[in-house]
Amino acid sequence: MDQQGLHDIEYRCIQEEQPACQAACPLHVDVRKVMTLVRVGDLAGARKLLDRTLPLPTVLGRVCDHLCQGPCVRGSIDTSLAMGAVERTIINATGAATKPLAMPGKGKRAAVMGGDVSALTVAWDLGKKGYGVDVYVAGEAVGGHLLGLSELLPAGALAAELEIMGRLNVVFRAGQTLNAALLDRLGGEYDAVYVEMLDANFLSVGREAVDAVTLALLGRDGVFCGGFVTPGQPLSVIALAGEGRKAAVSMDRHMAGVSITASREREGACPTRLFTNTQGVIPLPGVVPADPGAGLTPAEAQAEAARCLECQCLECVKSCTYLAKYKGYPKVYARQIYNNLSIVQGARSYNQMINSCTLCGQCEELCPSGFSMPDLIVAARRDMVSRGKMPLWAHEFVLEDMAFSQSAAFRLVRAAPGEASCSHLFFPGCQLGGDPAASVPAVYAHLRAGLAGGVGLGLACCGAPAWWAGRQELAEAAMAAFRADWEALGQPRVIAACASCQATFARLAPEIPVVSLWRVLLDETGLPQVGVSLPSGPVAGVRLPAGPVAVHDACTGRHDVAGLAAVREILGRIGVAVEELPASGRLASCCGFGGLQANANPELAAATLARRVAESPRDFVATCSMCRDRLAGAGKRTYHLLDLLFPGGSDDPAERPDPGFSYRHEARARLKRQMLETVWHEPQPPETPPALPLVIPDVVRQVMEARHILDTDVARTVARAEATGRKFTDTATGRHLAGFATARVTYWALYELIDGAAHIHAAYSHRMNVSGVDRQEG
């Protein structure tokens, strides 16, 4: 990602765009901020803000014709915020005019021809910037249209601001004849000249004579013109001020000798891309002053300001635990990530942030401008991997788990017994394959019985974890290995039980046809024992949920419209009513496993999961084993859809606990053996019972799960200690403690030998190398 790439990404998040009110204000007064301050009663703070933005604030703040009100988002719900009235209340309540901070004198001088609002704005702005300004006024009184607004302006208000301008080095020269000759003279005497065109358009030119962006008079260096009257258009005091400000910016730059055209897009009233969700906003009438003549009292203004929606987007942040956790929004995150990747030396404090996104893609669905955190995050992770900067703590455990699924212990890709090729290949995925209660054998048998052309079996990992981890090459290698098998089998259609596998195939091997298992069960084989043409009803032997269920869609399957529909249709067929979760289908929320969030940031993943669980008190039905197990692990009653189609051993499958990592490993290995024995009739060598059986109490196992320690890690350490005698013994308790370092991790086990079994009291690990601890050879 280079600077330009970063800008393109940042541009897509519109959170920092101006609210409609501010964008419509020619001076871009931060109306939203003003409303926030007034809402909490901080009129002094609001006044400060106006003082910073408005020229002659105690005058303009009272007479502004509030162009901001028209486009106010509230206008389409009830009534626009009455910014004009609120502003008047602020000024009235906060005292007389004060001299603004001015820059030190610059030694350059500007002339202004005209005494109306645009001319006064030019003089005010340039005076503040340290220029000497002489204002040439036709009549005796300065103020132009302001002079006719005496019902809005208390006596003396304008005079007070003009007096302050005097202290800003602005000199008023009244009673002048403004004509071309004077302009010629001033052009020679001053560094820049402003001509206010309003009524005394002695130049007799229109807008076309000036540059639209800079208001520079074409062909006259150093002369700027504004305040043109458009016949038939009402005159706007604040629009005049806007023109004055624009001219002042040009004149300042002209006198400073810098580019007068660079980055001026946002001046004057401009369009905004900000999106504000108004769903659920309760209409509230605008506050009417008790005494219309006096305007809003401070309390009334406060009530009016409380109606402000404080417009902003944050659509993605509102729904995502991860985005909310880091207290910003994607535009800010893009910058932080960019900076993090650019660090050459020192701590990369955003590593955990980069590795905590679930890559679920919900943000992209919600974002009015399609911002994709996954695109940004995957690019960042790949960048870290490619430069050797990805910390091990982020994904190591999952990558080892993936290596196990790719090893001979689980991997098995072949055609049905006695066949060399197949038309279909059932691909349960490593998570369903690791569900000890899963009905993979039954589903496989059902597919074989119901589909013509031969159904093969593919036990393997699709590579999703590597892709999530930013290990592009590893993911592609996994897919290449699968592709080779797939070609040898005659390029069968893949029937995927897991939405993540399906998405990974689509991403890494779009040429491989993939269909979701749910579609096949519904459209092709029929549901077990219900049958496509038979009346609906529960499958024999399956106890259905007592009430309606909520479907927890897998976030990786949000775009599989056909698959999402099939799940609902299947539930309907077997007589299970569905109550949709607020975030379902295309908008599904992740369980916290996606993107390896659970690995890099377990606490955050628990929060992600808890939020999902809180969406409904109903039993959940999940279509992904990992989702189901995580939900169950959080105490949420959750079925796997297959539990409702293929009766398993359990009476109440929604209650079965999360099997945990170790058991999932074992289940995968066992599934392969079982399939080889029962389907291919290949007797398997008996499982060698461990020399020293382990007894692991639940409390210890929970800690091991959290620490990512497998039973096999503990078994290896204990077996080694017992074989060599290299261990410590506590003479007080008789317990043994042994440590053993494998290639990257050192595992420790605290255990007691009882009746030929090792009772585990504690297990822990570290990656640091300690010189006095035994290491595995090689």
Partner 1 sequence: MNDTPTYLPESGSWLCAACNQPLVAAPVGVTYLQGGFTITLLTCPACGLSLVPEFLAVGKMFEVEQLLEDK
For ligand SF4, the binding residues (CB under 6 A) are: 13-15, 19-21, 31-32, 35, 72-74, 81, 308-311, 313-317, 320, 322-323, 329-331, 357-363, 366-367, 369, 371, 373-374, 590
Burial (0-12, 13-18, 19+ Cβ within 10 Å), 151: exposed
> In whole angstroms, how far apart are CA 486 and each of 429, 481, 509, 654, 680?
15, 9, 11, 35, 19
* HSE-up of residue 275 (Cα within 13 Å, Cβ side): 15
Closest CA to 638 of 570, 700, 552, 761: 552
Residue 766 binds which entry of partner 1, ligand SF4, none, CB below 5-8 Å type-dependent = partner 1
**Minimum gap (Å) between residue 712 Cβ and partner 1:** 19
For residues 271 and 617, which CB has a smaller minimum distance to ligand SF4 in the complex?
Answer: 271
For residues 244 and 295, which CB has a smaller minimum distance to ligand SF4 in the complex?
Answer: 295
Q: Is position 230 an interface residue for partner 1 (rule: CB under 8 A)?
A: no
For residues 167 and 766, which CB has a smaller minimum distance to partner 1 in the complex?
Answer: 766
Site string for partner 1, 376-405 (x = CB under 8 A): ---------------xxx------------
User: Which residue in 547, 682, 728, 776 binds partner 1 (CB under 8 A)?
Assistant: 728
For residues 214 and 358, which CB has a smaller minimum distance to ligand SF4 in the complex?
Answer: 358
> In whole angstroms, how far apart are CA 201 and each of 260, 270, 438, 570?
24, 27, 86, 78
| Segment 312 to 351, residues that bind partner 1, using CB under 8 A | 345-349, 351
**Minimum gap (Å) between residue 335 Cβ and ligand SF4:** 13
Q: Is position 730 an interface residue for partner 1 (rule: CB under 8 A)?
A: yes
Cα 720 from Cα 704, distance rounded (Å): 19
Q: What's the CA angle centered on 555, arms 549 and 559, to 5 degrees?
A: 100
Cα 216 from Cα 613, distance rounded (Å): 62
Q: Is position 736 an interface residue for partner 1 (rule: CB under 8 A)?
A: yes
Residue 392 binds which entry of partner 1, ligand SF4, none, CB below 5-8 Å type-dependent = partner 1
For residues 394 and 413, which CB has a smaller minimum distance to ligand SF4 in the complex?
Answer: 394
Q: Is position 770 an interface residue for partner 1 (rule: CB under 8 A)?
A: yes
Cα 109 from Cα 593, distance rounded (Å): 66
**Minimum gap (Å) between residue 391 Cβ and partner 1:** 3
**Minimum gap (Å) between residue 83 Cβ and ligand SF4:** 6
For residues 20 and 609, which CB has a smaller minimum distance to ligand SF4 in the complex?
Answer: 20
Q: Is position 775 an interface residue for partner 1 (rule: CB under 8 A)?
A: no
Cα 290 from Cα 161, distance rounded (Å): 30
| Piece of 12-20, 325-333, 542-550, 743-751 that binds partner 1 (CB under 8 A) | 743-751
Three-state DSSP class for residue 154: coil
User: Which residue in 739, 740, 758, 760 binds partner 1 (CB under 8 A)?
Assistant: 739
For residues 86 and 186, which CB has a smaller minimum distance to ligand SF4 in the complex?
Answer: 86
Site string for partner 1, 703-722 (x = CB under 8 A): ----x---------------
Helix (H) or strand (E) holding 338: helix 330-342
Closest CA to 49 of 66, 70, 32, 62: 32
Q: Measured between alpha carbons, how far apart are the two ends of the chain, in Å? A: 39
Q: Is position 150 an interface residue for partner 1 (rule: CB under 8 A)?
A: no
Q: Is position 493 an interface residue for partner 1 (rule: CB under 8 A)?
A: no
User: Which residue in 746, 751, 758, 760 binds partner 1 (CB under 8 A)?
Assistant: 746
**Minimum gap (Å) between residue 478 Cβ and partner 1:** 25
For residues 564 and 710, which CB has a smaller minimum distance to ligand SF4 in the complex?
Answer: 564
Is residue 125 within 8 A of residue 242, CB to CB? The reply is no
Task: Please state whether beta strands 424-427 and 619-622 pair in parallel, antiparallel, or not at all (unpaired).
Answer: unpaired
Q: What is the DSSP letter of 417?
A: T
**Minimum gap (Å) between residue 730 Cβ and partner 1:** 4
| Piece of 55-63, 169-177, 612-620, 745-753 that binds partner 1 (CB under 8 A) | 745-753
Cα 346 from Cα 758, distance rounded (Å): 44
For the record, the structure tokens of 306 come out as 């409380």
Residue 729 binds which entry of ligand SF4, partner 1, none, CB below 5-8 Å type-dependent = partner 1
Q: What's the CA angle centered on 451, arms 445 and 454, to 5 degrees?
A: 80
Site size with partner 1, rule: CB under 8 A: 39
For residues 292 and 772, which CB has a smaller minimum distance to partner 1 in the complex?
Answer: 772
For the record, the structure tokens of 604 come out as 């955050």
For residues 407 and 729, which CB has a smaller minimum distance to partner 1 in the complex?
Answer: 729
Cα 297 from Cα 303, distance rounded (Å): 10
Residues sharing a CB contact under 8 Å with residue 388, sequence separation 6 or more, in sequence order: none
Cα 674 from Cα 679, distance rounded (Å): 8
Helix (H) or strand (E) holding 619: strand 619-622
* Bridge partners of residue 172, in order along the sequence: 135
For the record, the structure tokens of 480 come out as 């290449």
**Minimum gap (Å) between residue 752 Cβ and partner 1:** 13
Closest CA to 468 of 535, 566, 555: 555
**Minimum gap (Å) between residue 450 Cβ and partner 1:** 50
User: Which residue in 98, 177, 678, 733 binds partner 1 (CB under 8 A)?
Assistant: 733
**Minimum gap (Å) between residue 375 Cβ and partner 1:** 23
Q: Is position 778 an interface residue for partner 1 (rule: CB under 8 A)?
A: no
**Minimum gap (Å) between residue 69 Cβ and ligand SF4:** 8
Residue 21 binds which entry of ligand SF4, partner 1, none, CB below 5-8 Å type-dependent = ligand SF4
**Minimum gap (Å) between residue 716 Cβ and ligand SF4:** 36
Task: Please state whether beta strands 746-754 and 757-766 pair in parallel, antiparallel, or not at all (unpaired).
Answer: antiparallel
For residues 20 and 203, which CB has a smaller minimum distance to ligand SF4 in the complex?
Answer: 20
**Minimum gap (Å) between residue 95 Cβ and ligand SF4:** 25
> In whole angstroms, how far apart are CA 280 and each of 220, 274, 312, 591, 644?
56, 18, 15, 27, 37
Cα 754 from Cα 762, distance rounded (Å): 16
**Minimum gap (Å) between residue 345 Cβ and partner 1:** 8
For the record, the structure tokens of 176 come out as 């002048």
Residue 209 binds which entry of ligand SF4, partner 1, none, CB below 5-8 Å type-dependent = none
Residue 320 binds which entry of ligand SF4, partner 1, none, CB below 5-8 Å type-dependent = ligand SF4
For residues 72 and 694, which CB has a smaller minimum distance to ligand SF4 in the complex?
Answer: 72
Cα 393 from Cα 766, distance rounded (Å): 11
For residues 678 and 769, which CB has a smaller minimum distance to partner 1 in the complex?
Answer: 769
User: Which residue in 1, 200, 676, 773 binds partner 1 (CB under 8 A)?
Assistant: 773
Closest CA to 507 of 361, 333, 355: 361
| Piece of 327-335, 580-588, 618-626, 736-744 that binds partner 1 (CB under 8 A) | 736-744
Residue with tokens 């490993």: 665
Cα 737 from Cα 752, distance rounded (Å): 9
| Residues of the shown chain interacting with partner 1 in the complex, contacts defined by CB under 8 A | 345-349, 351, 391-393, 707, 724-733, 735-737, 739, 746, 748, 750, 762, 764-774
